[in-house]
Structure 1
Amino acid sequence: MNSAPSPASVDVREKILTTGRRIMGGKGFSAVGLNEVLVAAGVPKGSFYHYFGSKEAFGEAMLEDYFSAYLGEMDLIFHQPGQSKAQQLASYFQAWRASQASDDCQGRCLAVKLGAEVADLSESMRSALLRGTAGIIERLAAALEAGVADGSLTIDGSPHSVAQGLYQLWLGASIMVKIVRTDRPFDEAQALTDQLIHRPAS
């Protein structure tokens, strides 16, 4: 029988992943060597290969760790008591804007920072991105469907197609914010979001 990993083992693995997210979220995947991550984490190189077979395997685990935390945050937003689904969706996009607009978002921007880069580098990392983004879209679709049910919003089209369009809209806006160095793309994304999600007049 295999024993469960010790708390110390879990802590070291998590420390490597957290440090990698922070550094690679700022510099990119290819620009950062494993040694930089391990020195910053205070972990010997031998320990890295105990947890990860390669840099690519580390990248896949880092993305999975990122999306697990991100989806957990989404679940908290979409289960806030006393709020309609329309209000929860508004809170979600406000939180997106707040995290992505920061010049020092680092690990919070991992999907935006690494998406295009690693999708071309590694099939396993591309698959991790696909699974993670699918989870985001599924949660958005569920929130939209529930919002239609509770009467707090209406949409034109299926919840999944609208959710997919919204995610792509905000992902593109996050990239444009980095290019133009203003929040204007988020203003435009919000305006389009308000057109896609119709709320009853108060």
Structure 2
Amino acid sequence: METRNIKFKKDKILDCGVQLLMEKGYHSSGLNEILGAAKIPKGSFYYYFDSKEQFAVEVIWHYIEPFITRLATELSVHQNDGLQALKSYYAGLINEVESTNFKGGCLLGNLIGEIGDTSEACRKALLDAISRYTNLQQEALLRGQNHGSVRTDRSAKSMADLLSNSWQGALLRMKVEQSIEPLNAVFKDLLDDYFKA
């Protein structure tokens, strides 16, 4: 019971961290803001995290997990056709982004731009999160190739990398354009066209 309670409290702090880092970034989020957002005393913060940098590392892991779970769920629903799993997954993301008025974008992309080359611990956490996410997309595309819905003259890995890179760029454009059109373009150009067999 105690372990579950500790995990619940830590997850609550990490949820606040995702929100705060998404809205303000790493450098503009001071420890007092983190403590205030999570409604915890300083001692509690240091019970869970050694430093602000370690907090950011765990926020990155915490942030990516629902996306991994969600994509894995789509893969289990569309077991054979990985392309359909990706289309269903990305259509859901586009709908959610539109409903939030284009706020936030992707925490990974935001942090890559802000601290990707200044914090080694965060750089490694970002690389790990991106790798896990891209590997799952690669698995989806490989399944699509085996199913016959995805082209086979390109490797599943190169297409998964292209999808991740294009999506991150589209999220940045979405924020400045205040439009889902860049996301729709990635969906249409890659999932509805370039990747198809």
Give the alignment's TM-score, normalised by structure 1.
Answer: 0.87
SS at match of 2:172: helix
The whole-number CA distance in structure 1 between the counterparts of 2:40 and 2:18 is: 15
Contact preservation (8 Å) 2:94, 2:184: no
Deviation at 1:70, TM superposition (A): 1.9
Alignment of 1:115-134 (within 5 A): 115-134=112-131
Aligned AA (1:198): K
Q: After the TM superposition, which residues 50-129 of structure 1 pair with which residues of structure 2 at under 5 Å, given as runs?
A: 50-81=47-78, 84-101=81-98, 102-103=100-101, 105-106=103-104, 109-129=106-126
Q: Which moved more, 1:24-33 or 1:52-61?
A: 24-33
Unaligned runs of 5+ in 2: none
Runs of 4+ in structure 1 deviating by more than 6 angstroms, as ranges, are none
Structure 1 stretch displaced more, 12-21 or 81-90:
81-90
Question: SS in structure 1 opposite 2:174?
Answer: helix
Tell me the secondary structure at the aligned position of residue 29 of structure 2: coil
Kindly tell me: are residues 68 and 187 of structure 1, through their superposed partners in 2, closer, same or farther at Cα, counting changes over 3 Å? closer
- Which of 171, 176, 183 in structure 2 is aligned with 1:186? 183
Residue pair 1:99, 1:105 contacting (<8 A) in 2 also: no
* Residues 83-115 of structure 1: per-residue CA shift (max 9 Å, x gap): 732211111221232344433655x73113222
Equivalent AA in structure 1 for residue 176 of structure 2 = I
- The Cα of 1:57 is off from its aligned counterpart by 0.6
Q: 1:5 to 1:58 in 2, by over 3 A?
A: farther
Residue of structure 1 equivalent to 2:5: 8
1:78 counterpart SS class: helix
Find the aligned partners of 1:176 and 1:133 in 2 and give their Cα distance. Answer: 20
- Give 5+ residue unaligned stretches, structure 1: none
% same residue: 29
RMSD: 2.1
User: Separation in 2 of the partners of 1:112 and 1:38?
Assistant: 24
- Aligned-pair distance for 1:41? 1.5
